[in-house]
DNA sequence: TCCTAAATCAATAATGATTACTATTTTTAT
DNA sequence: ATAAAAATAGTAATCATTATTGATTTAGGA
C-alpha cells in the first residue's frame, strides 16, 4: 500500500502544473507522451486518480461528462464555456459561505457542495464579434 | 422539426412525474417497459433529451457520471448520497442569490451556474446506526 | 551492492452510459 | 384517405473510463 515514486506520475504532475486550462486525461496523455513516448493511457488515468485521492491535484466534474484536472488545489471556481467546452478559473469570493448563508432543510447529513458556472469564454466572445463583422461584408 | 405526439414519450413523462428519486435513463427504461414492453432504450434516451430541451423535465448532472432526470422543474437543489448514490431534494433558500452576492471576476460572459450538494442520505444514516449496534453485539 | 517484496507499468480487453444508423411504423395536416 | 414528416425498434458504434495480467521498477534491508 505504500506509495512508491514513479517517473510517469512525476511527469503527469509536472505537466499539469504548467497548465491553467484544466486538461482532460486524454490531453495529459498526448502531452506526456512527448517526453515519455510509451506511457500508457491507463497509467495516466490511474495516476490522475491517485493524485486526486492524495489531494495533490483536483478532479473537476463540470457536467460535460469528461473529467478535467487541475493542479491548483486552492479554493476557486470554474467556468465551462458552452461554446468551446474550455474550462477557465473564476474568482468568486463569498460563495464559500454558501452553506452558512443558505437556509438548508435536509434530513440527511450534508458534507459539501459543488458549484460551477457556465457561459462564454473570452476567446469565444472575441471570435463571435469577429464573425459578426464578417457577416456584415 | 415539428414535434409530434408519441405514446412512448407520454409514458416516459408520466412515469417521471410519479417519482421523486430522480431516476436514470436505465431506471426509466425498466419501468416504462412494464406498461409498454417493446419500447427501446434509444427511444428513452432520445425522449429524455427532447423533454429536457423543451423544459418539460430537467436533466441533472451531479458528478457521478450518470444523468438523472427530474420532472420537477421548479427551482430547487439536490443532494447526492456518497454512500448509495441516491439523489434527493434539498430546500436551500438564498442560494439563488449566489451570483448577485458573489464578487465575480471573469473576462467572459457568465450565463448561469450549477450547485449541488453531497453527503449521506437519511436512509444510509439510519442503516449506519443499525450497523453500529450490530458491531456492539 | 545485491535481493526481495511490493508497487507500478504497458498493453489490451472489458465495461457502461450514451449516441448514431436504418428500415419500418405512427402521426397529422390536407 | 393519403402522403410527408416525425418517431420508433433494434442494433451497432462511440467514447471515457476501469479492470486484468504478466513484466518491470522501486525501496529498504541483508
- B108 in reach of chain A (CB within 8 A): yes
Q: Which nucleotides of C are covered by protein (CB under 7 A)?
A: 6-13, 17-21, 26-28
Strand C near-CB residues (< 7 Å), A 15-74: 36, 38-43, 46-47, 65
Q: What is the pLDDT of residue A134?
A: 57
The DSSP symbol for B111 reads E
Using C1' positions and the CA of A68, the closest nucleotide is: D16
Protein CA A50 to sugar C1' D28 (Å):
23
Residues B28-49 pLDDT 10s: 999 999 999 999 999 999 999 9
Chain B residues in contact with A81 by the CB 8 A cut-off are: 108
Best mutation target, A117, A121, A123, A126, to test chain B (most B CBs within 10 A): A117
- Residue A5 CB lies within 7 Å of the nucleic strand D: yes
Q: What average pLDDT does range B79-84 have in this prediction?
A: 90
Chain B residues in contact with A109 by the CB 8 A cut-off are: 119-120, 125
Burial of residue B59, with CB atoms counted within 10 A of its CB: 0-12 exposed, 13-18 middle, 19 or more buried: middle
Q: What average pLDDT does range B124-135 have in this prediction?
A: 73
B117 and A113 within 8 Å at the Cβ level: the answer is yes
Name the residue among A43, A41, A48 with its Cα closest to residue A69.
Answer: A48
Name the residue among B44, B8, B10 with its Cα closest to residue B24.
Answer: B44
Q: How confident is the model at residue A137 (pLDDT cuts 50, 70, 90)?
A: very low
Q: How confident is the model at residue A136 (pLDDT cuts 50, 70, 90)?
A: very low
User: Alpha-carbon distance A25 to A61, whole Å?
Assistant: 12
pTM of the model as a whole:
0.89
Domains of chain A: 1-74 (1.10.10.10), 76-104+113-137 (3.30.1490)
Residues A18-66 pLDDT 10s: 999 999 999 999 999 999 999 999 999 999 999 999 999 999 999 899 9
Q: Which residue from B92, B112, B120 is facing A104, i.e. has the nearest CB?
A: B92
Q: What is the pLDDT of residue A130?
A: 72
Q: What is the pLDDT of residue B90?
A: 92
- A88 in reach of chain B (CB within 8 A): yes
Q: What average pLDDT does range A81-96 have in this prediction?
A: 87
A106 and B124 within 8 Å at the Cβ level: the answer is no
Strand D near-CB residues (< 7 Å), B 49-78: 50, 65
- Tell me the three cell numbers of residue A7: 517517473
Q: What is the pLDDT of residue B1?
A: 60
Q: What average pLDDT does range A103-116 have in this prediction?
A: 90
Q: Where are the beta strands (DSSP E) in chain A?
A: 58-61, 67-70, 77-81, 87-93, 103-105, 109-120
* Percent of chain B that is helix, strand, coil (3-state, to 5): 40, 25, 30
For all residues of chain B together, what is the average pLDDT? Answer: 90
- Tell me the three cell numbers of residue A132: 459578426
User: Alpha-carbon distance B78 to B57, whole Å?
Assistant: 15
User: Alpha-carbon distance A80 to A58, whole Å?
Assistant: 16
Amino acid at each position: 500500500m505504500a506509495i512508491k515514486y514513479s517517473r510517469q506520475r512525476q511527469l503527469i504532475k509536472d505537466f499539469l502544473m504548467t497548465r491553467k486550462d484544466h486538461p482532460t486525461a486524454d490531453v495529459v496523455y498526448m502531452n506526456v507522451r512527448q517526453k515519455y513516448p510509451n506511457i500508457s493511457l491507463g497509467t495516466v488515468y490511474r495516476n490522475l486518480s491517485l493524485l486526486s485521492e492524495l489531494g495533490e491535484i483536483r478532479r473537476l466534474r463540470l457536467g460535460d461528462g469528461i473529467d478535467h484536472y487541475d493542479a491548483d488545489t486552492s479554493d476557486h471556481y470554474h467556468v465551462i464555456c458552452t461554446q468551446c467546452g474550455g474550462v477557465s478559473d473564476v474568482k468568486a469570493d463569498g460563495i464559500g459561505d454558501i452553506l452558512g448563508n443558505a437556509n438548508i432543510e435536509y434530513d440527511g447529513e450534508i458534507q459539501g457542495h459543488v458549484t460551477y458556472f457556465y457561459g462564454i469564454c473570452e476567446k469565444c466572445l472575441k471570435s463571435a464579434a469577429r464573425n459578426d463583422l464578417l457577416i456584415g461584408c
